[in-house]
Structure 1
Amino acid sequence: MTASAPEANLLSQPLHLPNGSILRNRLAKAAMSEVLGTYENRPTLKLVELYRRWSVSGIGLLLTGNVMIDRRALGEPGNVVIEDESDLPLLKQWANAATGQGAAIWVQLNHPGKQSTKGLNKSNLAPSAVPFREDMAALFETPREATTDEIEEIIQRFGRSAAICKKAGFSGVQIHGAHGYLINQFLSPHHNRRTDEWGGSAQKRRRFVLAVYAEIRRQVGADFPVGIKLNSADFQRGGFTEEESMATIHALAEAGIDLIEISGGTYEAPAMSGTLQETKKASTVAREAYFLEFAEKVRASTQVPLMVTGGFRSAAAMNTALRSGALDVVGLARLLAIDPDAPAALLRGQDSPQRVRPITTGIKQVDQMGVMEIFWYTLQLKRIANGGDPRPDESGLWAFVKSVMKSGWGTFRTRRLRA
Structure 2
Amino acid sequence: MAPALEDPISIAGLDVPNRLYRAPLLECAGEGPDAVDVLREELEPAAASGVGLVCQGASPVREDTGHVAPNMTSFADREFVRGLRPLTDAIHDHGARILAQLDHGGIRSLETWHAAYREERSAPEQLAVSPPPTPLKLLDAAGVLSYDARVLSTEEVYELAADFGRCAEHAVAAGYDGVHIAGANMGIVQQFLSPFYNARDDEFGGSLGERVRFLEVVHEEIRERVGDDVPVVTKVPAETASPPFVRSRLSVADGVRIARRLEAVGFDALVPVEVSVFWDMSLIRGEYPERAWSDAQFREGYREAFGGRIRPRLVALAHRLHARSQSFDPAWNDSFCARVKEAVSVPVLAEGGIRRRTQMDRLLATGRCDMVGMGRPFYAEPRIAARFLRPEGDETDAAGRSREGDAEATCENCNNCTVPQVTGAPGVCRTPSVLKETGKLRKEGAYESAETDDRGA
TM-score by length of 1: 0.80
What does residue 9 of structure 2 align with?
15
Match of 1:231 in 2: 237
Q: Partner residue of 1:392?
A: 431
State how many pairs are aligned: 366
Q: SS state of the match for residue 194, structure 1?
A: coil
How far the C-alpha of 1:140 sits from its partner, in A, is 4.4
Aligned to 2:388: 346
Q: Does the 8 Å contact 2:103/2:181 carry over to 1? A: yes
One-letter amino acid of the structure 2 residue matched with residue 68 of structure 1: P
User: Superposed, which structure 2 residues align to 1:187-266 within 5 Å?
Assistant: 187-233=193-239, 235-236=241-242, 237=246, 238-266=248-276
Matches of residues 136-147 of structure 1 in structure 2 within 5 Å?
A: 138-147=144-153
The aligned counterpart of 1:123 is: 125
CA distance in 2, matches of 1:380, 1:43: 15
Give the root-mean-square deviation of aligned CA atoms. 2.9
Distance 1:140 1:319, change over 3 A: farther
CA distance in 1: counterparts of 2:81 and 2:419, whole angstroms: 33
1:133–1:235 CA distance, 2 compared to 1 (3 A): farther
Identity of aligned residues (%): 27
Code of the aligned partner of 2:413: R
Runs of 4+ in 1 over 4 A off after TM superposition: 133-137, 275-281, 373-378
Alignment of 1:268 onto 2:324: no
1:305 corresponds in structure 2 to 347
Letter in 1 for 2:270: I
Give the whole-Å Cα distance in 2 for the aligned partners of 1:14 and 1:311: 23
Mapped contact 1:273–1:373 kept (Cα < 8 A): no
Structure 1 letter corresponding to 2:21: A
Unaligned runs of 5+ in 1: 1-6, 362-370, 382-389, 396-419
Residues 1:374 and 1:249: Cα distance change in structure 2 (over 3 Å): farther
The 1-side partners of 2:81 and 2:191 are apart by 31
Larger Rg: 2
Structure 2 CA distance for aligned equivalents of residues 158 and 149 of structure 1: 15
Shift of 1:211: 0.9
Name the SS for the 2:413 alignment partner.
Answer: coil
Task: Show CA shifts across 1:290-343 (max 9, x none).
Answer: 011111111222222111111111101110111001101111001111111111
Q: Which amino acid aligns with 2:26?
A: S
Question: How far apart are the structure 1 equivalents of 2:189 and 2:179?
Answer: 15
Deviation of 1:133 after TM superposition, in Å, equals 6.3
- Structure 1 window deviating more from structure 2 (171-180 vs 82-91): it is 82-91
| CA displacement, residues 221-261 of structure 1 (integer Å, 9 cap, x when unaligned) | 11111101221325332222222211111011112211111
Aligned AA (1:103):
A
Show the 5 A alignment for 1:261-340: 261-266=271-276, 267-274=278-285, 288-340=330-382
Cα 1:202–1:8 shift into 2, 3 Å: closer
Name structure 2 gaps, 5 residues minimum: 112-116, 287-321, 391-402, 435-457
> Matched residue of 2:426: which SS?
helix
| Letter of the 1:342 counterpart | I
- State yes or no: 1:150 paired with 2:156: yes
1:232 and 1:242 in contact (8 A); partners too: yes
Task: Indicate yes or no: 2:118 matched with 1:108.
Answer: no
Letter of the structure 2 residue corresponding to residue 71 of structure 1? E
2:270 match: secondary structure: strand
User: What residue identity is the alignment partner of 2:414?
Assistant: P
- The letter of the residue matching 2:268 is D
CA contact (8 A) 2:263 2:346 kept: yes
